[in-house]
Structure 1
Amino acid sequence: MIAITNPATLGLTALLFFIAIFGRYVLFSLAFWWLFNVSLKDQFAHRAVQTRPRKAGQDWREIGWSVLTSLLFTVLALAVILAYQHGYTAIYTNINSYPIIWYPISIAIVLFIHETYYYWLHRWMHRPGVYRWVHKTHHDSITTSPWTAFSFHPTESTLQAIIIPILTFVLPLHLSAVGLILLIMTLSSAINHLNTEVYPHDFDKHWLGRWLIGATHHSLHHTQFRFNYGLYFTFWDKWMKTESPDFHRLFGEKTKKGVNNE
């Protein structure tokens, strides 16, 4: 991890982190957009979940909000680095500091806590007195795309992002595990906002697939508002009965053509 010893190093570190965070968003967004809108367009055209055209200038508005989101993520990353340097976090760099089994377990714990935190935060953000000021920016994108993944009002960005830094203070996490968690977060968000269902037919009934959120699941949240509040997984929506009653039907419709063509 970079040692920050003076203002120049701090500035350089901030720049590098911003490039990494915003660059990761751009890389994933461009890759998914090109793959399913250019390279595999004919094979996946029928899998577009929401057929309503995107608004004029929507891509650039989403990218603009995503720049602010990336700046906020950069500030939080710098705060964690500074805290680590002063020995305040539980981040470790020696893989042998804990039993190797702790590595996957720690990631699973973080994902579960993050999912739980986000689900209830998300429901709170849909309260009438909160939605307009915090969450509406994201929902201005009714028809989503990978560019929507980081398109949040700064207040929402901060509320969403704060949980991972907090966990680094109380839960031992290897430095690479933190990076892997952030990679999973970006990948999942890009897939969920793709508006093209990438999972195979009947995956929504598979022992694993039934717990994973994809484009169909999250697109329904952007159009129906009252359902599908999860981030990575569907279990809170299932437990709290907030999963859209249209999900399985729509998933089947969007993935059935590929089965018939095989």
Structure 2
Amino acid sequence: MDLVLDFMDPHLFTPYVYPESWPENYWPRQLLSLFAIALIGGLALYLGTAALAYHFLFDKRVMDHPLFLRNQIRLEIATSMMSAPLMVLPTALMFLLEVRGLSRLYDGFPSGPSMVLTLGRDLFGFLFFTDMMIYWIHRLLHHRLVYKYLHKLHHKWKIPTPFASHAFHPVDGFLQSLPYHLYPFLFPLNKVVYLTFFVFVNMWTVSIHDGYYSVPDNLKYFVNGSAHHTDHHLYYDYNYGQYFTLWDRLCSSFKDPSAFNGRSLVVEAENKKK
């Protein structure tokens, strides 16, 4: 996140926001800046991506399903907006540790063939580690001693819309994002790749709630998409994965999506109307 601060400080924060007595490397200033960037930028990314997915991908016929709540979209957005500041605060603290040089984030890539190997290591390592960790964190959140206090709120949306993607209890939301922040403290990662993944992760989270089930046949076996995650909201004990189906298959929690087997929510909704 120091790349973002390096841009924002001279263009906004130093000339217009902070007094001269607060230098750019003053940690309370950095923390406030990171909190503001993460909160405003995160909400803008969430609302913008979810709105696009809702208007262009989400099949609104499912809103006639009996499990779709009255005023659900408004409730999803309200929950997200109220939880966001509390989710962002520990996130900003993690960003601060990175900015203060305590992570293994690095600038640039080596030249030549090693650049491809390094980029591949960063991409594969980040995806594998975060997918594995989120699977186990998500599964822990379904434990009977934890579920009703933290994760039950997110399962209020049995027929989720794209706006449900960030509608979590704040502790739940941060725990499921923790692997993204933990990775660069354990393994080397390029700073640009890290920022790209931060945006990508937020967009992916929206995508698995968008109700758009069209996935190429050759990817259905591997990719945990919206069809898989919709069944998770409906049946609870299946499809905990984030990106891939690997850990669900290894740990016997995989469920072949109902939408791939002719049992779509749209059909159920239309049948209920008859």
**TM-score category by the smaller chain?**
0.7 to 0.9
Give distance in 1, aligned partners of 2:63 and 2:228. 9
Partner of 2:176: 160
Deviates more, 1:235-244 or 1:26-35: 235-244
Aligned AA for 1:221? H
**Percent of pairs with identical residues:** 22
Note if contact 2:142-2:151 (Cα within 8 Å) is conserved in structure 1. yes
Note if contact 1:213-1:232 (Cα within 8 Å) is conserved in structure 2. yes
Give distance in 2, aligned partners of 1:210 and 1:168. 29
Partner of 2:21: none
Partner of 1:18: 39
Cα displacement (A) at 1:253 = 2.3
Give distance in 1, aligned partners of 2:69 and 2:155. 12
- So what's the TM-score if we normalise by structure 1? 0.81
Find 1:250's aligned residue among 247, 254, 259. Answer: 259
Cα displacement (A) at 1:102 = 1.4
Superposed CA deviations along residues 131-163 of structure 1, whole A, max 9, x for unmatched, are 100110000000101001111111211211222
Give distance in 2, aligned partners of 1:177 and 1:164. 12
Find 1:225's aligned residue among 236, 258, 263. Answer: 236
Cα displacement (A) at 1:187 = 2.3
Note if contact 2:105-2:188 (Cα within 8 Å) is conserved in structure 1. yes
Note closer, same or farther for the CA distance 1:252–1:72 as it changes in structure 2 (3 Å cut). same
Partner of 2:123: 107
2:208 is the counterpart of 1:192: yes
Note if contact 1:91-1:172 (Cα within 8 Å) is conserved in structure 2. yes
Note if contact 1:49-1:197 (Cα within 8 Å) is conserved in structure 2. no
Superposed CA deviations along residues 18-45 of structure 1, whole A, max 9, x for unmatched, are 12111111111001011125xxxxxx67
Partner of 2:141: 125
Give distance in 1, aligned partners of 2:244 and 2:197. 14
Cα displacement (A) at 1:234 = 0.5
Gaps of 5+ in 2: 7-23, 265-274
Partner of 1:94: 108
Partner of 2:246: 235
Note closer, same or farther for the CA distance 1:190–1:45 as it changes in structure 2 (3 Å cut). same
- So what's the TM-score if we normalise by structure 2? 0.78
Partner of 1:71: 85
Superposed CA deviations along residues 220-255 of structure 1, whole A, max 9, x for unmatched, are 11111121111111111111221125x2x5314279
Note closer, same or farther for the CA distance 1:45–1:17 as it changes in structure 2 (3 Å cut). closer
Give distance in 1, aligned partners of 2:64 and 2:140. 25
Note if contact 2:135-2:242 (Cα within 8 Å) is conserved in structure 1. yes
Aligned AA for 2:50? S
Aligned length: 241
Note closer, same or farther for the CA distance 1:123–1:17 as it changes in structure 2 (3 Å cut). closer
Note if contact 2:67-2:159 (Cα within 8 Å) is conserved in structure 1. yes
Give distance in 2, aligned partners of 1:186 and 1:50. 27
Partner of 1:60: 74
SS in structure 2 of the partner of residue 128 of structure 1: coil
Find 1:137's aligned residue among 153, 169, 174. Answer: 153
Partner of 2:53: 32
Note closer, same or farther for the CA distance 1:89–1:250 as it changes in structure 2 (3 Å cut). same
Cα displacement (A) at 1:14 = 2.5
CA RMSD of aligned residues (A): 2.6
